[in-house]
Amino acid sequence: MKIILLLLFMSTLCHANKAEFSILQFNIWNEAHRVKDGIDHIATAIIESDADIIAFSEVRNKKGDWHEKIIQKLAESGKTYHGKFGGGDVGLISRFPIIKTEVVFDKTKIDRGSIIAYHLELTNKQELVVCSAHLDWKYYGLNLVRGYNGGTPKFKLIDKDKDGVPDYELDVDKIISYNQSSYKGPAIKAFCDYAKSPQLKGKSIILAGDFNDGSHLDWIESTKDLYGHGGLVIPWKNSQKLKSNGFIDAYRELYPDPVTHPGITWPSPAYEQKPTTWTPLSDERDRIDYIYYRKLNLQAKDAFIVGPQESYQFNKLIKNTGQDQFICDEIHWPSDHKGVLVKFSFQ
């Protein structure tokens, strides 16, 4: 009997120390100011996704404090979230209390991205650190492969012979060099250094954001002739650095095959908006929104693409043909990006 009681006690203790939560990475397209009733559609997506934590990219606070507005909007539907602006061009709201925020990387004065850390207290009283990110949109190397400049110079067609057909860049070294000229690399380095700091020793940490960057896990041999990859295999450096520093791409961990589960998040159709594509004469479909995590006490359990099942290809909407799981795919979508939602267990 004593052994049975002991086992029951241990089981109860383990259950008490276990937490489950979901996190939604959500680029809100400058607070969806282009979309009519944009904040209402953002709130609808959050409510329908039932996410516990939402990491926002492209927070501008141009018409008042974004966090106050979205928290109030959700409260009108009976949903309670904590949140506050911590700097940069990102944000975060959570059903869990926010202990503090810290600036990890901030180049928003020149509109080149930021990473802000939010320390949360979970229901089991353990601390979780979530870093909300929006990385540099300039030197967007993914465009070169599609025959367009990546913002430096401007996002325009590369057409040196003036035949109206994109001139595709197929030199992998040139593409990587161009991409690494951005602030994406310094931002990822700053994050990795922050994650190694003594204060974060033994703590679980998540990085969620719009990276404006490709992944070496997606641009592989089996996808070289898909999605405008131009026959190339590209070892994108920033995703490699995260992997070498012990961070796991949650979506690719659960769905390792980018052919069956491409996880495309860009470009997404937005409600009552003209095409959001930046390369109308090419196929620019990509996964550029990510959720990374350091294992320790965390384990990814399930993942979803949040938003429409269609994406733009050659300026036309094409429905997803993979096996990705979608949610919120029938609502009025307020962004040019789809979101990513991952469910975690925390022991």
Q: Give me the domain span that covers residue 95.
A: 2-137+180-346
Measured over all CA atoms, what is the biggest interatomic distance in the chain, rounded to whole angstroms?
85
Report the sign of the C-alpha dihedral through residues 30, 272, 285, 320, in that order.
positive
pLDDT of 321 > 80? The answer is: yes
Whether 320 is in a domain gets the answer yes
What's the whole-model pTM score? 0.94
- Residue 151 falls within a domain, yes or no? no
- In the chain, the percentage of residues whose pLDDT exceeds 70 is 95
pLDDT band at 2 (very low <50, low <70, confident <90, very high): very low
Per residue in 226-249, pLDDT tens? 999 999 999 999 999 999 999 999
Measured distance CA(75)–CA(106) in Å, rounded = 30
Average pLDDT of every residue of the chain: 95
Residue 191: inside a domain, yes or no? yes
In a domain, 146, yes or no: no
Q: Let me know if residue 169 belongs to a domain.
A: no
Judged on CB neighbours under 10 Å (0-12, 13-18, 19+), 56 is: buried
Q: Quick check: is 131 in a domain?
A: yes
Q: Does residue 173 form part of some domain? A: no
DSSP string, 276-305: --S-TTS---B--EEEEEE-TTEEEEEEEE
Query: What is the number of structural domains in the chain?
Result: 1
Among 266, 328, 250, which Cα is nearest to 46's? 328
Separation between Cα atoms, residue 307 and residue 27, nearest integer Å: 11
* Residue 325, domain CATH: 3.60.10.10
To the nearest 10 degrees (0 to 180), the angle between helices 38-49 and 66-75 is 60
Q: Is residue 155 part of a domain?
A: no
How far is residue 186 from each of residues 59, 150, 205, 241, 248, measured CA to CA in Å? Answer: 21, 18, 19, 11, 19
